């Protein structure tokens, strides 16, 4: 019985203590369920987000750049499908064998192969390694033929920038290439959209308009595993192509400019004298921007860099030249405006004048005899302008020159490399050279030599502002929606009473008229310096002014020798210049031509204007009809 009692007691203790444990178990299980509830029900959203963050990875692809079109809508910077060759290293059994196979098929250089191997080391094995960025069609076909034995090789089609007119637009558009560190650091948008393979503007409008052109990335969403390997694609979000940019330029005229300046160094600019639209702007020689897309080869680069005609310089905006005789319309205008001379004022040209024991030569050794303003402009008599400049003084001349835009950047907001040049006065010399102005300098400034430095685009703007009757215009290279047509601007200018934004640059409109007439006679009257280049048909008839800018001081001996241009070393030859506007009766366009070391303005530059005006005037009607094209392109 004792034993039985004891065993019952023992059993009681056990059962009782079991209950206590049971209660504890209930508590623990409740805590666990509470925890489950809090994780799975209360915080479910938070953890779902975290889990998606874990498993979903976004891959950005290079954005598609916006097209750049000319005035007529022709694509001048577009996008082209290119064939590329990618290799996925993890799918390749023997990488070295594969790469040597590809080397023979694609005839890759050893250097290229080394680079590919170096790139491979930087990638994760499942990331695609770019073997070739731009396969030719035949290479693409070849690869496809061998594809069965090339495991892990992927020929793919992608989009790349393309400049269909090759070198025609290079100095306007610039080009795109892989961004370097500086590009990324300086532009937040590039930083944001950067992905390997992206191309950004390096120069010209491609660079200035980067933020409009770049577009937004395509985004691929992938499910990835814990090691970052892509498992499957969840979504593809198409990015927005960059905005379309429409230029004011006309490809046909641009092509003619390129043609005229073939094998020469120089620049041609053509401008609508009312709207300020630049319809051609070409700097020669140019280079093919398509070479830069996939990284230019050393040999090609050296060829461009070492070309003595300096293709890398945009001469239209960054080339600084003495304006030579093309400054004479401004000198004459300034003299008229300041009432220093009247149109009948005459000077006797004996071929040279002596001043303070210095001799100032006219280009015509025998002299022009007595010349008035019109004759002096027509024959470009230097002695006349020496005298006028002497009477006028450089300070008053500078005021007029400044008004017409000399010494100021014209398109500075769009082109980082544009130079402002300078138009000197007495203060300028004192401040910059620390010396007092001497009268002789006034004289040579009067014929566009000396300290004056202008860019071709400035000369074009100056001519345009004379041609439109002396009104200030704002040159532009991009079309914009709210812009007035040239007809509307003409009407506004005619209606003198209306309050418009057109600032007149003259005191007396008759003065402008006199200058225009003088320029007309220079081209269209016998003994005019560009008489040979004239067009009699009033439809194309233009008025202009030649210029021949000395590159170095002509020594006495050289003057006596009177060498022909071809006999002088290239570097020492004069720059040939020409400025003009037309059609004369009712002008619409102005142009400036500069041929570096081209000899004289009348023999080299002016004949180009003839060809240009024929085309420009013929294109004018077409251009007027296309004024509404802009609506469709914006």
Q: Which residues bind another protein (CB under 8 A)?
A: 6-7, 9-11, 13-15, 17-18, 21-22, 25, 28-29, 31-33, 35-37, 39-41, 43-44, 46-48, 50-51, 54-55, 223-227, 231
Sign (positive or negative) of CA dihedral 412, 413, 415, 416: positive
State in angstroms the smallest separation of the CB of 167 from another protein.
52
C-alpha distances in angstroms, 24 versus 14, 18, 38? 15, 10, 21
DSSP assignment, residue 422? B
In the numeric block, which tokens belong to residue 330? 């401004």
Cβ burial, residue 233 (10 Å; 0-12/13-18/19+): exposed
Closer residue to another protein, CB minimum distance, 21 or 526 = 21
State in angstroms the smallest separation of the CB of 61 from another protein.
23
| DSSP reduced 3-state for 415 | coil
State in angstroms the smallest separation of the CB of 228 from another protein.
10
Closer residue to another protein, CB minimum distance, 51 or 94 = 51
State in angstroms the smallest separation of the CB of 14 from another protein.
5
State in angstroms the smallest separation of the CB of 218 from another protein.
24
State in angstroms the smallest separation of the CB of 225 from another protein.
4
DSSP assignment, residue 159? E
User: Per DSSP, what are the bridge partners of residue 87?
Assistant: 129, 153
| DSSP reduced 3-state for 124 | coil
What does the alpha-carbon distance between residue 17 and residue 384 come to, in Å, rounded to a whole number?
Answer: 128
State in angstroms the smallest separation of the CB of 16 from another protein.
10
State in angstroms the smallest separation of the CB of 416 from another protein.
45
What does the alpha-carbon distance between residue 534 and residue 427 come to, in Å, rounded to a whole number?
Answer: 41
State in angstroms the smallest separation of the CB of 177 from another protein.
37
* R_g (Cα) of the chain, nearest Å: 37
State in angstroms the smallest separation of the CB of 47 from another protein.
3
Closer residue to another protein, CB minimum distance, 13 or 156 = 13
Which position has the token pair 């200035």? 208
The beta-strand segments (E) located in 180-260 are: 200-201, 218-224, 230-237, 245-246
Which position has the token pair 């009257």? 525
H or E segment and range at residue 86: strand 75-87
Closer residue to another protein, CB minimum distance, 31 or 185 = 31
Say what the alpha-carbon torsion angle 13, 14, 16, 22 is, to the nearest 10 degrees.
160
State in angstroms the smallest separation of the CB of 48 from another protein.
5
Asked whether 601 and 544 are in contact (CB, 8 A), the reply is no
In the numeric block, which tokens belong to residue 403? 């008004």
What does the alpha-carbon distance between residue 299 and residue 302 come to, in Å, rounded to a whole number?
Answer: 5
In the numeric block, which tokens belong to residue 355? 């001043």
Closer residue to another protein, CB minimum distance, 20 or 526 = 20
Closer residue to another protein, CB minimum distance, 19 or 236 = 19
End-to-end CA distance of the chain: 109
What does the alpha-carbon distance between residue 237 and residue 312 come to, in Å, rounded to a whole number?
Answer: 39
State in angstroms the smallest separation of the CB of 18 from another protein.
5
What does the alpha-carbon distance between residue 546 and residue 331 come to, in Å, rounded to a whole number?
Answer: 14
H or E segment and range at residue 172: helix 170-173
Label each residue of 466-521 as H, E or C.
HHCCCECCCCECECCCCCCCHHHHHHHHHCCCCCCCCCECCCCHHHHHHHHHHHHH
Closer residue to another protein, CB minimum distance, 18 or 433 = 18
What does the alpha-carbon distance between residue 271 and residue 263 come to, in Å, rounded to a whole number?
Answer: 24
Closer residue to another protein, CB minimum distance, 224 or 493 = 224
Closer residue to another protein, CB minimum distance, 34 or 509 = 34
| DSSP reduced 3-state for 214 | coil
State in angstroms the smallest separation of the CB of 125 from another protein.
16
Asked whether 368 and 379 are in contact (CB, 8 A), the reply is yes
Closer residue to another protein, CB minimum distance, 18 or 156 = 18
What does the alpha-carbon distance between residue 347 and residue 363 come to, in Å, rounded to a whole number?
Answer: 15
Closer residue to another protein, CB minimum distance, 50 or 563 = 50
What does the alpha-carbon distance between residue 540 and residue 583 come to, in Å, rounded to a whole number?
Answer: 5
Closer residue to another protein, CB minimum distance, 6 or 211 = 6
Closer residue to another protein, CB minimum distance, 47 or 570 = 47
State in angstroms the smallest separation of the CB of 126 from another protein.
14
DSSP assignment, residue 375? H
Closer residue to another protein, CB minimum distance, 39 or 157 = 39
């Amino acid at each position: 019985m004792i034993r039985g009692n004891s065993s019952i007691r023992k059993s009681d203790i056990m059962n009782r203590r079991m209950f206590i444990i049971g209660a504890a178990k209930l508590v623990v299980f409740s805590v666990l369920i509470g925890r489950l509830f809090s994780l799975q029900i209360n915080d479910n959203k938070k953890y779902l987000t975290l889990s998606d963050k874990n498993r979903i990875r976004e891959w950005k692809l290079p954005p598609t750049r916006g097209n750049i079109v000319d005035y007529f809508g022709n694509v001048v910077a577009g996008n082209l499908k290119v064939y590329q060759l990618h290799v996925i290293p993890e799918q390749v059994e023997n990488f070295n064998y594969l790469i040597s196979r590809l080397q023979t098929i694609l005839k890759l250089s050893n250097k290229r192969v080394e680079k590919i191997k170096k790139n491979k080391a930087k990638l994760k094995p499942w990331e695609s390694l770019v073997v070739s960025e731009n396969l030719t069609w035949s290479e693409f076909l070849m690869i496809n033929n061998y594809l069965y034995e090339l495991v892990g090789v992927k020929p793919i089609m992608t989009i790349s920038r393309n400049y269909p007119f090759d070198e025609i637009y290079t100095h306007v558009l610039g080009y795109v290439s892989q961004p370097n560190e500086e590009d990324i650091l300086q532009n937040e948008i590039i930083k944001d959209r950067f992905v390997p393979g992206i191309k950004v503007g390096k120069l010209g409008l491609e660079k200035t308009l980067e933020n409009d052109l770049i577009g937004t990335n395509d985004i691929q969403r992938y499910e990835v595993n814990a090691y970052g390997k892509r498992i499957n694609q969840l979504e593809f979000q198409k990015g927005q192509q960059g905005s379309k940019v429409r230029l004011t330029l006309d490809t046909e005229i641009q092509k003619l400019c390129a043609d005229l300046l073939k094998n020469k160094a120089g620049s041609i600019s053509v401008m609508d004298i009312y709207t300020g639209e630049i319809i051609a702007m070409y700097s020669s020689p140019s280079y093919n921007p398509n070479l830069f897309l996939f990284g230019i080869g050393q040999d090609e680069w050296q060829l461009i860099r070492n070309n003595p005609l300096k293709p890398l310089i945009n001469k239209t905006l960054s080339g600084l030249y003495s304006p030579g005789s093309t400054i004479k319309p401004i000198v004459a205008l300034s003299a008229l405006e300041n009432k220093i001379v009247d149109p009948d004022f005459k000077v006797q040209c004996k071929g040279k004048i002596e001043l303070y024991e210095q001799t100032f030569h006219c280009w015509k050794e025998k002299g022009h005899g007595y010349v008035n303003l019109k004759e002096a402009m027509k024959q470009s008599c230097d002695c006349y302008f020496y005298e006028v400049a002497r009477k006028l003084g450089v300070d008053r001349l500078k005021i007029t020159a400044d008004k017409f835009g000399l010494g100021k950047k014209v398109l500075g907001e769009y082109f980082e490399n544009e130079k402002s040049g300078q138009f000197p006065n007495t203060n300028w010399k004192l401040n910059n050279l620390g010396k007092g102005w001497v009268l002789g300098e006034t004289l040579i400034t009067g014929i566009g030599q000396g300290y004056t430095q202008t860019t071709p685009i400035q000369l074009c703007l100056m001519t345009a502002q004379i041609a439109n009757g002396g009104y200030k215009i704002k040159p532009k290279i991009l079309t914009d929606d709210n812009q007035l047509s040239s007809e509307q601007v003409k009407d506004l200018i005619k209606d003198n009473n209306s309050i418009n934004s057109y600032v007149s640059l003259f005191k007396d409109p008759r003065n402008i008229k006199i200058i225009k007439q003088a320029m007309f006679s220079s081209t269209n009257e016998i003994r005019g310096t560009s008489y040979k280049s004239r067009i009699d048909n009033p439809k194309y008839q233009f008025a202009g002014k030649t210029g021949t800018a000395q590159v170095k001081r002509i020594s006495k001996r050289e003057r006596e020798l009177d060498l022909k241009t071809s006999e002088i070393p290239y570097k020492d030859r004069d720059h040939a210049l020409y400025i003009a506007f037309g059609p004369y009766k009712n002008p619409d366009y102005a142009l400036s031509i500069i041929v570096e070391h081209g000899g004289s303005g009348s023999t080299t530059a002016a004949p180009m204007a003839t060809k240009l005006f024929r085309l420009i005037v013929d294109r004018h009607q077409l251009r007027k009809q296309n004024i509404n094209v802009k609506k469709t392109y914006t």
